[in-house]
């Protein structure tokens, strides 16, 4: 917050504090103390920065209210009083459906929050609020709301709303739009501390993504594409205010560290709102055995049999993973070692607590040679399960609570349309002939393609894109559903959706069920699928030599220009 306020001009500073896992953490906080349930880090930031924001006329909009936006608004007023500041604080509520979850068919979760749109935020700003806090709104709503307030858009201004959603999606994950987590990271200057992105939004919904002068990182068509492909599914990006057509978006270079976003088309939003539901799924524990040197497979089999025999009756779920990180004839002990991880889950904490921990450690003098663990197992801990639910748009009592305490009901959209993603099916991609080129060389996919991957509950997505039309013809012919299953064998038995974004030269793949019940419960090596795209980029595919020559020429030209 301090970097953004000191770094240059701003009208609105947004803050996105909520993720699926965050909602679970806040839900557990609220169980321990009903006064909690909001992001307390936001208050610590405001203690340092609120006065600066007021002095510079910067409006603050954040979803840090979590499960208790009214409480956070009160805390901000109290903080301002202690600091001797006068500030108009408003909040948005109505997303929390926990008291009605059973009646709405949402079960009995720990948290149940509908993703609201930006019109409640806009109403607060129209009333003069200088600080607005919300509960669970969509990440992009933090940008849509201020844009609605600035330009006076209504529910029918679908293209403009879609443009703001796209801008909000680009900046919502901070430095992921300025070079953070970027496949071609070696092209980014000064990535030690990348600056945060800024969206300059215009009255028609188009925007320019940039960053403060002198800050690190870079804003390029590539870095913006990377964030556009993050945690999406198909071309229709469904939201509470509008369905944004990502396949209509055009990116153009607007100067150093400036990328212009135009062409976003909007359709009416869906008739339902997504609901974030988090529940305590049970209790889990784990330990990792270190297997060094020879006979790794046999050592793993021995300790697995011993622990299985000791855990009778076994926990409800037991998962073993052997990571062959060992190297033959290694010159360090660490390089000579493999890791055997076991994760246990059970509704009963005793089944994964001391009984599991004791059984694992008591093998220390009676198991494979060189027995060691990375750390002793603990007592077990609860884990969460995320599930999406859906309710009609009119169900949440979307309310803007203005600085003077006035409560204003925000109407649901009057026009909606069901959403559809029209995913490709295996074999549906026309063969352009590019992949039939016999003059090819087997190289990693990432030689030409970038990727960005992530999680949505138990599903994972990976977006892959290239930079030229010739590369795009090759990519779409090469990266079929069948080829993806070959390159990522872990997906072989799972349902895949494949979507094309021609204007971005990108393909997005949704892998259903890869992450089980979500990040908080998963035992997968990469529980949020953040590395899935980089794994895919590392797999070898036949690449036409003429594309490699074009890439070499482009790299040489860029290096020469830089020099």
Could you read off the pLDDT of 236-256 as tens digits, one per residue? 999 999 999 999 999 999 999
In angstroms, the CA 174 to CA 183 distance is: 16
Crossing angle of the two packed helices 141-151 and 158-171, in degrees rounded to 10: 140
Sheet holding 207-211, edge to edge: 197-201, 207-211, 259-262, 250-253
* Comparison of pLDDT for 522 and 487, the residue scoring more: 487
In angstroms, the CA 537 to CA 555 distance is: 19
Rounded average pLDDT over 408-435: 66
Q: Output phi, psi for 440, to 5 deg.
A: -125, 170
Rounded average pLDDT over 437-454: 93
Token look-up 């330990």 returns 287
- What is the reported pLDDT for 379? 87
Q: Cis ω on the peptide bond leading into residue 329 (within 30° of 0)?
A: no
- What is the reported pLDDT for 555? 57
Q: Which of 174-183, 318-327, 432-441, 547-556 has the lowest mean pLDDT?
A: 432-441
Crossing angle of the two packed helices 40-55 and 69-83, in degrees rounded to 10: 50
End-to-end CA distance of the chain: 35
Say yes or no to pLDDT of 501 above 90: yes
Residue spans of beta strands (DSSP E) within 22-138: 59-62, 89-93, 111-114, 131-134
- What is the reported pLDDT for 420? 60
Could you read off the pLDDT of 328-355 as tens digits, one per residue? 999 999 999 999 999 999 999 999 999 9
Share of the chain above pLDDT 70, in %: 93
pLDDT range class, residue 562, cuts 50, 70, 90: very low
Find out whether 545 and 441 touch, Cβ atoms under 8 Å: yes
The structure's pTM equals: 0.91
pLDDT range class, residue 511, cuts 50, 70, 90: very high
In angstroms, the CA 144 to CA 374 distance is: 47
- What is the reported pLDDT for 445? 98
> What is the pLDDT of the chain when averaged over all its residues?
92
Q: Which of 108-117, 138-147, 453-462, 538-547 has the lowest mean pLDDT?
A: 453-462
- What is the reported pLDDT for 491? 94
Say yes or no to pLDDT of 552 above 90: no
- What is the reported pLDDT for 436? 54
Rounded average pLDDT over 262-290: 95
Say yes or no to pLDDT of 77 above 80: yes
Q: Which domains does the chain have, with CATH numbers?
A: 1-152+393-419 (no CATH), 158-269 (no CATH), 278-385 (3.30.70), 434-562 (no CATH)
Rounded average pLDDT over 363-389: 91
Rounded average pLDDT over 22-50: 91
Q: Which of 156-165, 205-214, 380-389 has the lowest mean pLDDT?
A: 380-389
* Comparison of pLDDT for 65 and 518, the residue scoring more: 65
- What is the reported pLDDT for 561? 43
In angstroms, the CA 318 to CA 302 distance is: 16
The token pair that represents 541 in the structure block:
């595919």
- What is the reported pLDDT for 519? 54
Q: Which of 18-27, 215-224, 471-480 has the lowest mean pLDDT?
A: 18-27
The token pair that represents 244 in the structure block:
């944004």
Could you read off the pLDDT of 177-198 as tens digits, one per residue? 999 999 999 999 889 999 999 9
- What is the reported pLDDT for 428? 40
Say yes or no to pLDDT of 29 above 50: yes
The token pair that represents 405 in the structure block:
């305490």
pLDDT range class, residue 422, cuts 50, 70, 90: low
Three-class secondary structure assignment of 432-477? CCHHHCCCEEEEEHHHCCEEEEEEECCEEEEEEECCCHHHHHHHHH
Could you read off the pLDDT of 458-496 as tens digits, one per residue? 899 999 999 999 999 999 999 999 999 999 999 999 999
- What is the reported pLDDT for 308? 96
Could you read off the pLDDT of 125-141 as tens digits, one per residue? 999 999 999 999 999 99
Token look-up 């948290």 returns 111
Q: Which of 84-93, 143-152, 513-522 has the lowest mean pLDDT?
A: 513-522
Find out whether 182 and 188 touch, Cβ atoms under 8 Å: yes
- What is the reported pLDDT for 507? 97
Say yes or no to pLDDT of 384 above 90: no
Rounded average pLDDT over 548-562: 59
Share of the chain above pLDDT 90, in %: 84
Q: Which of 22-36, 79-93, 224-238, 502-516 has the lowest mean pLDDT?
A: 22-36
Could you read off the pLDDT of 146-182 as tens digits, one per residue? 999 999 999 999 999 999 999 999 999 999 999 999 9
- What is the reported pLDDT for 427? 37
């Amino acid at each position: 917050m301090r970097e953004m306020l000191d770094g240059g001009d701003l009208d609105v500073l947004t803050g996105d504090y909520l993720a699926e896992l965050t909602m679970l953490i806040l839900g557990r906080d609220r169980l321990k103390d009903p006064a909690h349930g909001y992001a307390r880090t936001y208050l610590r930031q405001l203690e340092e920065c609120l006065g600066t924001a007021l002095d510079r006329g910067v409006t603050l909009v954040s979803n840090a209210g979590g499960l208790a936006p009214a409480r956070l608004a009160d805390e901000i007023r109290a903080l301002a009083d202690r600091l001797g500041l006068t500030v108009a604080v408003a909040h948005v509520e109505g997303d929390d459906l926990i008291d009605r979850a059973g009646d709405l068919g949402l079960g009995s979760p720990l948290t149940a929050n509908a993703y609201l749109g930006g019109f409640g935020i806009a109403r607060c700003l129209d009333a003069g609020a200088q600080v607005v806090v919300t509960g669970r709104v969509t990440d992009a709503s933090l940008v849509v709301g201020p844009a609605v307030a600035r330009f006076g858009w209504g529910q029918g201004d679908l293209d403009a709303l879609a443009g703001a959603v796209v801008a909000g999606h680009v900046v919502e994950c901070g430095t992921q739009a300025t070079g953070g987590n970027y496949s071609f990271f070696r092209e980014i200057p000064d990535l030690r501390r990348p600056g945060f992105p800024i969206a300059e939004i215009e009255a028609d919904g188009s925007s320019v993504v940039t960053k403060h002068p002198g800050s690190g990182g870079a804003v390029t068509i590539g870095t913006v594409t990377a964030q556009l492909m993050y945690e999406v599914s198909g071309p229709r990006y469904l939201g509470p205010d509008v369905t944004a057509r990502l396949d209509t978006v055009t990116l153009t270079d607007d100067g150093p560290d400036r990328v212009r976003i135009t062409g976003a088309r909007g359709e009416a939003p869906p008739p339902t709102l997504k609901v974030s539901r988090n529940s305590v799924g049970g209790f889990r524990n784990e330990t990792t055995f270190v297997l060094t040197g020879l006979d790794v497979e046999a050592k793993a089999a021995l300790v697995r049999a011993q622990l299985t025999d000791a855990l009778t009756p076994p926990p409800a779920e037991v998962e073993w993973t052997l990571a062959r990180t060992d190297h033959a004839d290694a010159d360090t002990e660490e390089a000579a070692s493999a890791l055997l991880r076991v994760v246990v889950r059970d509704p009963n904490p005793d089944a994964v607590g001391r009984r599991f921990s004791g059984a694992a450690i008591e093998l220390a003098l009676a198991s494979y040679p060189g027995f060691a663990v990375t750390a002793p197992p603990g007592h077990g801990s609860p884990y969460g399960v995320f599930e999406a639910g859906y309710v009609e748009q009119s169900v949440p009592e979307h309310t803007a609570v203005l600085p003077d305490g006035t409560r204003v009901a925000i109407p649901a959209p009057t026009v909606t349309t069901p959403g559809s993603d029209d995913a490709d099916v295996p074999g549906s991609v026309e063969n352009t002939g590019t992949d039939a080129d016999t003059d090819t060389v087997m190289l990693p996919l990432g030689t030409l393609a970038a990727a960005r991957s992530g999680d949505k509950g138990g599903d994972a997505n990976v977006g892959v894109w290239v930079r030229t039309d010739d590369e795009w013809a090759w990519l779409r012919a090469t990266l079929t559903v069948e080829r993806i299953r070959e390159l990522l064998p872990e997906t072989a038995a799972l349902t895949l959706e494949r979507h094309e974004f021609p204007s971005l030269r990108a393909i997005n793949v949704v892998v259903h069920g890869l992450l089980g019940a979500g990040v908080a419960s998963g035992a997968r090596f990469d529980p949020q699928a953040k590395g899935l795209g980089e794994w895919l980029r590392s797999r070898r595919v036949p690449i036409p030599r003429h594309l490699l020559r074009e890439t070499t020429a482009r790299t040489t030209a860029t290096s020469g220009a830089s020099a």
